[in-house]
Amino acid sequence: MRVFGWDVTKALKFKKRPAASVGASAIGAPGSNGYIREPFTGAWQKNQALSTRDGMLASSAVFSCVDLISSDVSKLRIKYVKLTDGVWLESSAPRFTSVLRKPNHYQTRQQFVKAWVASKLTHGNTYVLLNRNSMGGIVSMDVLNPKYVVPLVAPDGSIFYQVTMSPLMVTPLETFVVPARDIIHDRGITSWHPLVGMTPIAACAGSAVLASSITNNSAAFFSNAARPSGVLSAPGAISEPTAQRLKKQMDEYSGMGAGGTLVAGDGLVYNPMTMTGSDAQTVEHLQWTAQDVARCFHVPGHKIGLDTGSRTANSSAIYEAMYYSDCLQAYLEAIELLLDDAFGVPDTVGFKFDTSGLMRMDEAAMLSANAQSVGAGIMAPNEARARQGLPPMPGGDTPYMQQQNYALSALAARKLPDEAPAPNGAREQEEPETEPTQEEEQTTVDE
């Protein structure tokens, strides 16, 4: 039934029922419990497999990319807009804006959006549970743990979601099934099934494991006073008690006891067994792993502390525009479209992110853009003042243009003269010289 252009349906409360009751087959398993996830074949046998995807966040590059993208998206305000005269203008509708302002009782709008994006980045899928009132309106939204949500597909193609954990619970609950209309499912690249997204971590897991191994080895290396393990050798045979005594003395001057003076006799010679720190090129390897991770997340290197060497203050706006188009825009567009579908809004209204928050810290770029917009008559002075957080001024609600500017239609409608007058000098040159007639000559003689 439609009332004033809106679809009004009766709210259907989902029941706690097993997946078998809807005759649906599961796509994957909740949390993939019992399975070993390897960044590459054989990593488990080499002790290079991380137990969970969350373990990948131990890599500083992975954590920086996930935190950067989710933070930048969450700091942007979500606007409810309406199409007016071909332009999307911000409007007000408490039915939608109140839920976006406070999605649930334990998260703010910023925390909710950050959890949404972080779940998509780390697991490839984000599941948002929609809680409705008796009229079918959305009253709250909860980001679910993707480890405990499984998509279900019925024989007739209907989609359901099997949920085994509440957002605030730490232990699994009784499994219940939710219809697709009550779940917002945002997903990454769907490489093997349309309902299962892939995280960028799948492409950079090898680099994350390598960085973790380098960090762990470096920690063990420098905890031994930056001196690798070695062998004490003597020119001749020594007794077992003497060997134990010399080893104990050597251990006392390594690690926390580094810097002391070791007195060794019997012609002992210390031979290191591993490479030095300069030979291992630890910093170069770590930088390469960070660059590989940033490439998979489409994050510019300078955003996570990598020195590119080509970024200057004058090119900051260009780099920000590249970061928006190459990385953030896809996440913003996905959230906007999913919110439009979840709330069932008509084509003439919708949700848009206020991307001006990306330029909030670049004061010089913001002032320059506002000045050019006002000078070109694109924005009214009060609109530019509002972007700077300043109150409106009287007479500033109308865009202004300079007086000498004319519309093209006005210039085309001008009445042109039939023939433009020529300059005096040009007329004199154009007049031909004629010889005087016989009568003119007679008149001149008589005078």
The pLDDT of residue 229 is 57
The pLDDT of residue 21 is 53
Eight-class DSSP state of 249? H
Asked if 270 and 232 count as a contact pair (C-beta separation under 8 A), the reply is: yes
Asked if 198 and 124 count as a contact pair (C-beta separation under 8 A), the reply is: yes
Global confidence as pTM: 0.69
The pLDDT of residue 158 is 92
Please state the domain count of the chain.
Answer: 2
Measure the CA–CA gap between 77 and 335, rounded to whole angstroms: 12
Q: In the numeric block, which tokens belong to residue 96? A: 């939608």
73 within a domain of the structure (yes/no): no
249 within a domain of the structure (yes/no): yes
Long-range contacts of 110-113 (CB under 8 A, 24+ apart): 110/74, 110/75, 111/74, 112/74, 112/141, 112/143, 113/70, 113/73, 113/74, 113/78, 113/335
The pLDDT of residue 183 is 95
Helix (H, G, I), strand (E, B) or coil at 422: coil
243 within a domain of the structure (yes/no): yes
Picking from 220, 245, 271, the residue at the C-terminal end of a domain is 271
260 within a domain of the structure (yes/no): yes
Using CB atoms within 10 Å of the CB of residue 297, give its burial: 0 to 12 exposed, 13 to 18 middle, 19+ buried. buried
Helix 282-297 / helix 201-223 crossing angle, nearest 10 deg: 160
98 within a domain of the structure (yes/no): no
156 within a domain of the structure (yes/no): no
Place of tokens 């006002």: 374
Using CB atoms within 10 Å of the CB of residue 242, give its burial: 0 to 12 exposed, 13 to 18 middle, 19+ buried. middle
84 within a domain of the structure (yes/no): no
The pLDDT of residue 308 is 61
The H or E element containing residue 7 is strand 6-7
Asked if 325 and 318 count as a contact pair (C-beta separation under 8 A), the reply is: no
- The CA angle 180-185-188, to the nearest 5 degrees, is 145
Q: For residue 241, what are the domain limits? A: 230-271
Q: What is the pLDDT along the chain (447 residues), one digit of tens a residue?
A: 444 454 444 444 444 455 555 555 556 544 444 445 555 556 655 655 554 566 678 888 999 999 999 999 999 999 999 988 888 888 888 888 899 999 999 999 999 999 999 999 999 999 999 999 888 889 999 999 998 899 999 999 899 999 987 777 766 667 889 999 999 999 999 988 899 999 999 888 888 888 877 777 777 766 665 454 566 677 777 777 777 777 777 677 665 555 455 555 666 676 665 655 555 577 777 888 888 999 999 999 888 888 666 666 566 777 888 899 999 999 999 999 999 999 999 888 999 999 877 766 567 777 888 888 888 888 888 888 887 778 888 888 888 877 777 777 777 777 766 655 556 655 555 555 566 666 655 555 555
Eight-class DSSP state of 397? S
Place of tokens 């720190």: 277
Picking from 249, 271, 293, the residue at the C-terminal end of a domain is 271
